[in-house]
Amino acid sequence: MRKFRLAEIKNIISSKKISDQETLLNELHKKAYNITQATLSRDLNYLQVAKVYDDKFGFIYALPSELNKFERRFNNTGSLNGFLSISYSNNIAVISTLPGHANQVALYIDYKQCPEILGTIAGDDTIMLIMKEGVNQTILNRCLITHFPELEGRI
């Protein structure tokens, strides 16, 4: 049963733009797979399903075999278009974005793997960026401008 269910999950994710577990669960229920959200979560983890950004649908599920397609597109078109401003407090930077853009901007920052940045946490229009020890505002600004030239003159 699990083998067929995993195959169906792969089929649904490959053929539709699915953005959340509830939608995927409903699709599986239509196909007579009566499973719980917890089982679906374990299945997604087992299949190594990731969420990727789609310009039209926002974040959607993608299978590992499809990630290269999204990474190439993201690498070519990813941008910080929603970036508005950045403020600092010790080793924390707070980035303001247009509503709905924080996840995309944080994803793009994380994707570049700047060594000065420990990580980001995104809400709807705000990102908390944690800098590594010893990194200050000047160093982070230089890092961001190096990796994101479109920020020149904006930070």
Looking at residue 107, its pLDDT comes to: 81
Is residue 33 located within the same domain as residue 60? Answer: yes
> pLDDT digit string (tens) for 98-150?
887 888 788 888 877 889 999 999 998 999 999 999 999 999 999 999 888 88
* Burial class of residue 48 in the structure, from the number of CB atoms within 10 Å of its CB (0-12 exposed, 13-18 middle, 19+ buried): exposed
Distance, in Å, from the CA atom of 18 to the CA atom of 88, rounded to the nearest integer, reads: 36
Residue 109 and residue 141 share a domain:
yes
Type and span of the H or E element at 13 = helix 2-15
Quote the pTM value: 0.55
Residue 21 lies in a domain: yes
Range of the domain at 56: 2-64
| Predicted confidence (pLDDT) at residue 33 exceeds the cutoff of 80 | yes
The CATH code of the domain that includes 111 is 3.30.1360.40
Q: Which residues pair with 127 in a beta bridge?
A: 95, 122
Give the model confidence (pLDDT) of 55-82 as tens digits: 778 778 888 877 666 555 555 445 677 8
